[in-house]
Every structure is written in structure tokens, then in C-alpha cells.
Amino acid sequence: MAGLQIEDIISILFGTHPPIKEKSFTLRGSSDEGLYRVDILSEKRKIQSLLIDRQNSTLVRVNLFDNDNNQRYSVRFFGQSVLENVTVPDKITLTAGDDENPHLTIRYSDAQRTTSADAASFDLQPPPNAATIVMD
């Protein structure tokens, strides 16, 4: 998805909102269809909207906006599992713009936390006919 930074992706995979890069921002809370909504705003624009389930205080949706206040993408979190002391969502969906149909769905199954991993596990080969770009 265009506009997703690596730090955004890591946050999303752990079921949290992407980091706020603006130095100065304000928060505005409201009720939204049974959820608690927190809008994160800079002086010039809306940055993110967080929708939180009132019953269990979990983040269920994050909407991120571009510089023109148009929704760039939306992330939804479904269910949650605890791995040691870390809570992760069972399912994550991402949609671009105002579209309601997921463009990407991530489901965790048999998730485990490991403290050591073989470096060879991350030596992934690109699919056939894929254009590769070597980055330093």
C-alpha cells in the first residue's frame, strides 16, 4: 500500500496505531457508534482517528489521513491473543482510501514468541519474474 512506512507496518502488526511524527498535536474525543473515538490533530489537518471498544478498552480501528484530510488508509483489528505479556490482534485488515473492502488481510495462527531465530529464516527469495532493487 502506498504511503505505509516500515514503522507504520510494525505498529500495525502489533495492533497499535502508527507513531505520530508531528511535534505538536492535540487530541479530541467523542462517541462514534458505540465506540470511543480519539482524533489526533495537528494545527493544519487530521492525522489519525482511533476507535476504541468501550467495553474492553481495545483499539479496533485506526484511520490515517493525508495532508488534504482525505483518508489514506484504514486498519481494523479483530480479536486478540496474549503471547507472554504482549497482546496481538488475531486478524488485521487494511483498506485504501474510503474503500470498505479489505486490500490486505493478515491472520495470526499459532503465533509464538521466540527469542532466537536462525538468520537463514529471513533469507527470502523473490518470486520468479519479480523486479528486484538492491538497497544499501
Residues 11-43: pLDDT tens digits? 998 899 998 888 889 999 999 888 999 999 998
**Look-up of cell digits 497499535:** 16
- Give 100 or 27, the one with higher predicted confidence: 27
Quote the pTM value: 0.74
Tell me how far apart the alpha carbons of residues 105 and 81 are, in angstroms, rounded to a whole number.
17
- Does 50 have pLDDT greater than 90? yes
Cβ proximity of 92 and 12 under 8 Å: yes
* 3-class SS of residue 50: strand
The H or E element that residue 91 is part of is: strand 91-96
What is the arithmetic mean of pLDDT over 68-96? 88
